[in-house]
């Protein structure tokens, strides 16, 4: 580690680049950045928030010159600690570079593509594309509120929108530390911007380039062109997608912070009029048959298909209610600021031994608010264990409705209804609210709950036994099991709220053995972070990108030491 005097010199250099207010060193100020939303935390020398691409390059150069570890962070919405420090056993000081001020979005090629800077959020991108009647790779209900565009690419996230697959591009502008320990800028964005880093970054940020500078025939993809084919192969004995799929690791895509990304170029997608069906059943076989029809027999892929188990429905309805209502009333753009404010309040309360008080207050307030979910959804909750929300393109609605009527005509196991516009919107928003509900439950039941074991897994495409049955000795250690996920691609999120005194890490490792026996891949879309072990192909990707182990070290439980020692 650096001597104190060297650390102070590094901090002073960073202040000279970005200004004192954008270099945070006190624990209370850095807490929001060095602590994961659900998992992971550690110490940092400083959190730095550059205000331009050139400043980001200069900060990066200063950190590399000072032999610091660099962690790149956009929105810090990840669930596996993948963009925060983890522990205090680093062999060099850690500088965390927050890209939240670098929010630029440039629409190119008549809206067919965009170039996004490091701090661009999916919410903001969605709004930018409205005039073009187009959408980004992910939209509300398929992505984390406040999530960044670059974070999705770097983590191979997403896939809820069935036609679009995981976030992916082969067109990016990024910096890396090469084998000789030198910082270099790699321009594979497909835009001619000049030669030097200073020229390239300045021209890009000010959009000082011409239409003729954009290269459109390079042969490089700006989205996952083959995913639509892959997900339809419902008889294949392998998952449709998973985080460490070697065929979807390409430079910035799947890099997990092992390089410093300055921009990515991505395809956009036509906004398609659609309608929603809500299915409930007590037989998981019903959902399997519906899935096979939607993927094999429908002329066009569905837009989305989200699964919710009854327990997840209930926990989400009670403990995700404030998230649901906040978005309903104020929209998604306000959510990141609300999280930041809550974090500051929580930090203050923790000083006085009142950890979790804000969550209990929020829970109490929402308890007295009227029921926020549609009556027909709640009626299905009472009748059925398994729930599926399907979004279908308008021209396929009649065929889907006809199939569902025939399928359930003589079956007592389940039923469906064709949602109104409000019901459809609320069904998908509820599915989103479920994703954060386990955290709220934990934080309001500290005396009974040890923690959450959170897994996101990709089952085989031909797996008909997708409902998990745990051994009794494991089941007895769990308060609640929340199952929900992206059903059409067989990617499931499984949150286990474990009893007080249970070792969550030991429980997770037991879960891994069960998943291995089922032929599952994990994680499916949330990055290995510091929670999972990076498999050989993913580790090789990291080492190729970052031969000196200077960026986001320890990710995937790899070495934290310089040069991967």
254 close to 541: Cβ distance less than 8 angstroms: yes
Residue 467 burial (CB count, 10 A)? 15
Residue 23 assigned ligand-binding role: no
- Total of domains in the chain: 3
SS3 76: coil
Last residue of a domain, one of 99, 131, 154: 99
Residue 261 assigned ligand-binding role: yes
Torsions phi, psi for 529 (to 5 deg): 55, -140
Torsions phi, psi for 408 (to 5 deg): -95, 5
Q: Is the pLDDT of residue 260 over 90?
A: yes
Q: Is the pLDDT of residue 291 over 50?
A: yes
Last residue of a domain, one of 371, 397, 429: 429
Residue 77 assigned ligand-binding role: yes
One domain, residues 149 and 214: yes
Residue 230 burial (CB count, 10 A)? 18
One domain, residues 257 and 305: no
Is residue 512, in this structure, part of any structural domain at all? no
CA distance 161 to 145: 16
pLDDT band of residue 495 (cuts 50, 70, 90) is very high
Is residue 504, in this structure, part of any structural domain at all? no
For the chain, the average pLDDT equals 92
Nearest to 344 by CA among 1, 8, 24, 94: 24
SS3 187: strand
Question: Each residue of 210-221: pLDDT tens digit?
Answer: 999 999 988 999
The residues, ordered by sequence, that sit 6+ positions from 530 with a Cβ below 8 Å of its Cβ are 39, 40, 80, 81, 82, 86, 554, 555, 556, 557
One domain, residues 228 and 111: yes
CA distance 500 to 479: 9
SS3 11: helix
CA distance 3 to 92: 11
CATH number for the domain that contains residue 356: 3.30.70.610
One domain, residues 211 and 73: no
Candidate from 142-146, 218-222, 378-382, 384-388 with smallest mean pLDDT: 142-146
One domain, residues 131 and 199: yes
Mean pLDDT confidence for 395-417 = 97
Is residue 52, in this structure, part of any structural domain at all? yes
The whole domain housing 238 covers 105-270
Last residue of a domain, one of 429, 448, 477: 429
Here the tokens at position 335 are: 């959510």
Mean pLDDT confidence for 337-358 = 69
Q: What percent of the chain has pLDDT over 70?
A: 95
Residue 222 assigned ligand-binding role: no
Residue ranges of the alpha helices (H) in 331-374? 335-351, 357-367
One domain, residues 280 and 415: yes
**Residue 524 Cα distances to 165, 201, 328, angstroms:** 12, 33, 29
pLDDT band of residue 145 (cuts 50, 70, 90) is low
Q: Look at the chain and count its residues.
A: 565
Residue 458 assigned ligand-binding role: no
One domain, residues 75 and 118: no
Question: Each residue of 27-81: pLDDT tens digit?
Answer: 989 998 998 877 789 999 999 999 999 999 999 999 999 999 999 998 887 778 8
Residue 365 assigned ligand-binding role: no
pLDDT band of residue 155 (cuts 50, 70, 90) is confident
Residue 317 assigned ligand-binding role: no
Q: Is the pLDDT of residue 479 over 60?
A: yes
Is residue 529, in this structure, part of any structural domain at all? no
One domain, residues 231 and 309: no
Question: Listing from the earlier edge strand, what are the strands of the sheet with 46-48?
Answer: 23-24, 46-48, 94-98, 69-73
Quote the pLDDT of residue 343: 67
Is residue 220, in this structure, part of any structural domain at all? yes
Candidate from 166-170, 386-390, 405-409, 528-532 with smallest mean pLDDT: 528-532
Residue 141 assigned ligand-binding role: yes
Quote the pLDDT of residue 2: 65
One domain, residues 293 and 423: yes
Give whichever of 335-344, 360-369, 540-549 has the largest mean pLDDT: 540-549
530 close to 236: Cβ distance less than 8 angstroms: no
Quote the pLDDT of residue 143: 45
CATH number for the domain that contains residue 157: 3.30.465.10
Question: Is pLDDT larger for residue 328 or for residue 350?
Answer: 328
Is residue 526, in this structure, part of any structural domain at all? no
One domain, residues 248 and 303: no
One domain, residues 260 and 345: no
Question: Each residue of 66-109: pLDDT tens digit?
Answer: 999 999 998 887 778 889 999 999 999 999 999 999 999 999 99
The residues, ordered by sequence, that sit 6+ positions from 286 with a Cβ below 8 Å of its Cβ are 279, 386, 407, 408, 411, 413, 414
Residue 40 assigned ligand-binding role: no
Q: How far is the first Cα of the chain from the last one, in angstroms, to the nearest whole number?
A: 16
Is residue 10, in this structure, part of any structural domain at all? yes
Quote the pLDDT of residue 333: 63
Is residue 91, in this structure, part of any structural domain at all? yes
CATH number for the domain that contains residue 78: 3.30.43.10
Rg (CA), the chain: 23
Quote the pLDDT of residue 305: 97
Q: Is the pLDDT of residue 144 over 60?
A: no
Mean pLDDT confidence for 151-173 = 90
Q: Is the pTM of this model over 0.85?
A: yes
Q: Is the pLDDT of residue 455 over 50?
A: yes
523: preceding bond cis by omega (within 30 degrees)? yes
Residue 19 assigned ligand-binding role: no
Nearest to 143 by CA among 129, 119, 126: 126
One domain, residues 112 and 199: yes
Quote the pLDDT of residue 142: 43
CA distance 113 to 134: 10
Q: What percent of the chain has pLDDT over 90?
A: 78
Quote the pLDDT of residue 39: 78
Torsions phi, psi for 498 (to 5 deg): -100, 150
CA distance 50 to 479: 44
């Amino acid at each position: 580690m650096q001597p104190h005097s060297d650390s102070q010199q590094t901090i002073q250099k960073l202040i000279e680049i970005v200004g004192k207010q954008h270099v945070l060193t006190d624990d209370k100020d850095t807490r929001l950045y060095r602590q994961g939303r659900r998992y992971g935390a550690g110490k940092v020398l400083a959190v730095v928030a550059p205000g331009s691409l050139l400043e980001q390059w200069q900060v990066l150069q200063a950190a590399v010159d000072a032999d610091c570890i660099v962690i790149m962070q956009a929105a810090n919405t990840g669930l596996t600690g993948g963009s925060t420090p983890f522990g205090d056993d680093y062999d060099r000081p850690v500088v965390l570079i927050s890209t939240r001020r670098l929010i630029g979005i440039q629409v190119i090629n008549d809206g067919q593509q965009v170039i996004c800077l490091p701090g661009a959020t999916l919410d903001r991108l969605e709004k930018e594309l409205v005039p073009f009647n187009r959408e980004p790779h992910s939209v509300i209900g398929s992505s984390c509120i406040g999530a960044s565009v670059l974070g999705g690419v770097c983590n191979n996230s997403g896939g809820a929108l069935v036609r679009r697959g995981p976030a992916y591009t082969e067109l990016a502008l990024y910096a890396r530390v090469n084998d000789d320990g030198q910082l270099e800028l790699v321009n594979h964005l497909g835009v001619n911007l000049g030669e030097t880093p200073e020229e390239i970054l300045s021209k890009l940020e000010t959009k000082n380039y011409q239409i003729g500078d954009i290269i459109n025939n390079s042969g490089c993809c700006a989205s996952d062109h083959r995913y639509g084919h892959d997900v339809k192969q419902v008889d294949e004995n392998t998952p449709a997608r998973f985080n460490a799929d070697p065929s979807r690791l390409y430079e910035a895509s799947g890099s997990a912070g092992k390089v410093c990304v300055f921009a990515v170029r991505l395809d956009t997608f036509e906004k398609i009029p659609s309608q929603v069906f809500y299915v409930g059943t007590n037989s998981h076989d019903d959902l399997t048959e519906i899935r096979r029809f939607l993927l094999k027999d429908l002329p066009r892929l569905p837009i989305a298909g989200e699964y919710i188990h009854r327990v997840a429905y209930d926990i989400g309805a009670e403990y995700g209610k404030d998230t649901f209502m906040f978005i309903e009333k104020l929209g998604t753009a306000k959510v990141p600021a609300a999280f930041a404010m809550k974090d500051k309040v929580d930090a203050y309360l923790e000083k006085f031994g009142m950890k979790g008080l804000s969550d209990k207050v929020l829970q109490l307030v929402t308890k007295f608010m009227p029921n926020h979910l549609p009556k027909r959804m709640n009626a299905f909750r009472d009748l059925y264990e398994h729930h599926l929300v399907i979004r279908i393109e308008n021209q396929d609605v009649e065929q889907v409705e006809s199939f569902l009527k025939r399928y359930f005509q003589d079956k007592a196991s389940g039923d469906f209804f064709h949602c109104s516009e409000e019901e459809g919107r609320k069904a998908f928003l509820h599915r989103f609210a479920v994703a954060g509900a386990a955290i709220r439950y934990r934080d309001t039941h500290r005396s009974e709950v040890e923690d959450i074991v959170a897994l996101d897994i990709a089952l085989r495409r031909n797996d008909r036994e997708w409902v998990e049955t745990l051994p009794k000795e494991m089941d007895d250690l769990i308060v609640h099991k929340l199952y929900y996920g992206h059903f059409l691609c067989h990617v499931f999120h499984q949150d286990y709220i474990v009893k007080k005194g249970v070792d969550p890490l030991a429980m997770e490792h037991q879960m891994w053995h069960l998943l291995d026996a089922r032929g599952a891949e994990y994680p499916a879309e949330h990055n290995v972070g510091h929670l999972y072990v990076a498999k050989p192909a993913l580790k090789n990707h990291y080492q190729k990108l970052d031969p000196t182990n200077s960026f986001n070290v320890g990710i995937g439980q790899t070495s934290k030491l310089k040069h991967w020692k």
